[in-house]
A and B are shown apart, each in its own frame.
Chain A
Amino acid sequence: MADSLKDKLDQVLLNVQKPARYIGGELNSVIKDKQDVDIRFAFCFPDTYEVGMSHLGMKILYSLLNDRDDVWCERVFAPWLDFEEQMKKHNIPLYGLESLEPLSEFDIIGFTLQYELSFTNILNMLKLGNVPLLCSERKGLKNLVVAGGPCACNPEPLVDFIDLFMLGEGEEVMHELMDLYKASVKANDTKETFLQKASQIGGVYVPSLYDVTYNEDGTIKEIIAKENAPLPVQKRIIKDFDSVYYPEKFIVPFIGTVHDRAIVEVLRGCIRGCRFCQAGFLYRPFREKNSDTLIKNGKSLCETTGYEEISLSSLSTSDYSQLESLLTEFIDYTNDNQVNLTLPSLRVDNFSEELLEKIASVRKSGLTFAPEAGTQRLRDVINKNVLESDVLNSCTIAFAGGYTSVKLYFMLGLPTETLDDIKGIIELAQKVVNAYYEMENRPKGKGVQVTVSVSTFVPKPFTPFQYEPQDTLEMIDEKQKHLVQSVTSKKINVKYHDSKTSVLEAVFARGDRRLGKVMLKAYQDGCYFDSWDECFHYGKWMKAFEECGIDPAFYANRKRSYEEVLPWSHLDYGVSERFLQNEHQKAVASTTTKNCRLQCSACGANKLLGGACFEY
Chain B
Amino acid sequence: MNTKQIPISEMINIRVFYNKKSRAKYISHLDITRCMQRALKRAGLPIWYTEGFNPHIYLTFALPLSLGYESESESMDLRLVTEVPFEEVKDCLNRALPPDIRVTKVQLQKNKPDVIKTALYEITLKSDTVTGQVLKDCLDHMFSEEKIEVVKKTKKGNKMIDIKPDLEIQSIEVLDYAIHIELIASAGIEKNINPTLMTDELIGKYNLEDIQTSVMRKAIYDANGNEFE
Interface positions, chain B 147-205, Cβ under 8 Å from A, are: none
The stretch from B9-17, B25-33, B77-85, B134-142 touching chain A is B25-33
CB neighbours of B68 from chain A (8 A): 13-14, 19
Interface positions, chain A 19-55, Cβ under 8 Å from B, are: 19-20, 22-27
Is the Cβ of B214 less than 8 Å from the Cβ of A308?
no
Interface positions, chain B 45-69, Cβ under 8 Å from A, are: 49, 54-56, 67-68
CB neighbours of A10 from chain B (8 A): 212, 214
> For the complex, what is the distance from the CA of A26 to the CA of B100, rounded to whole Å?
9
> For the complex, what is the distance from the CA of A22 to the CA of B25, rounded to whole Å?
12
Say which size band chain A's interface belongs to: 20 to 34
Closest A residue to B53 by beta carbon equals A363
Is the Cβ of B27 less than 8 Å from the Cβ of A20?
yes
A590 within 8 A of B: no
Say which size band chain B's interface belongs to: 20 to 34
B115 within 8 A of A: no
In the complex with contacts A20-B27, A303-B42, A308-B37, A25-B22 CB distance below 8 A: yes
A214 within 8 A of B: no
B100's partner among A25, A256, A303, A337 (CB-CB below 8 A) is: A25
> For the complex, what is the distance from the CA of A338 to the CA of B38, rounded to whole Å?
11
> For the complex, what is the distance from the CA of A569 to the CA of B156, rounded to whole Å?
64
Nearest Cβ distance between residue A138 and chain B, in whole angstroms? 31
> For the complex, what is the distance from the CA of A337 to the CA of B54, rounded to whole Å?
13
CB neighbours of B42 from chain A (8 A): 303-306
A336 within 8 A of B: yes
> For the complex, what is the distance from the CA of A14 to the CA of B42, rounded to whole Å?
30
CB neighbours of A336 from chain B (8 A): 1-2
Is the Cβ of A252 less than 8 Å from the Cβ of B26?
no
Central interface residue in A11, A19, A363, by most chain B CB within 10 Å = A19
B96 within 8 A of A: yes
Is the Cβ of A20 less than 8 Å from the Cβ of B37?
no
Is the Cβ of B31 less than 8 Å from the Cβ of A255?
yes
CB neighbours of A306 from chain B (8 A): 37-42, 96
Is the Cβ of A25 less than 8 Å from the Cβ of B1?
no
Is the Cβ of B67 less than 8 Å from the Cβ of A25?
no
Closest A residue to B47 by beta carbon equals A338
Is the Cβ of B41 less than 8 Å from the Cβ of A308?
yes
In the complex with contacts A19-B67, A305-B38, A13-B2 CB distance below 8 A: no
Is the Cβ of B39 less than 8 Å from the Cβ of A20?
no
Residue interface mask A297-329, B partner, CB < 8 A = 1: 000000111111000000000000000000000
Residue interface mask A158-196, B partner, CB < 8 A = 1: 000000000000000000000000000000000000000
List 24 interface pairs A-B (beta carbons < 8 Å), by A numbering: A10-B214, A11-B212, A18-B28, A19-B26, A19-B67, A20-B28, A20-B31, A22-B26, A25-B24, A27-B35, A27-B38, A27-B96, A27-B97, A27-B98, A252-B35, A254-B32, A254-B35, A255-B31, A303-B42, A306-B41, A306-B42, A306-B96, A308-B56, A337-B41
Interface on A for B, CB 8 Å cutoff? Answer: 10-11, 13-14, 18-20, 22-27, 252, 254-256, 303-308, 336-338, 363
Q: Given A14-B68, A254-B34, list of 6 further CB < 8 A pairs?
A: A23-B23, A254-B26, A256-B31, A306-B42, A336-B2, A338-B55
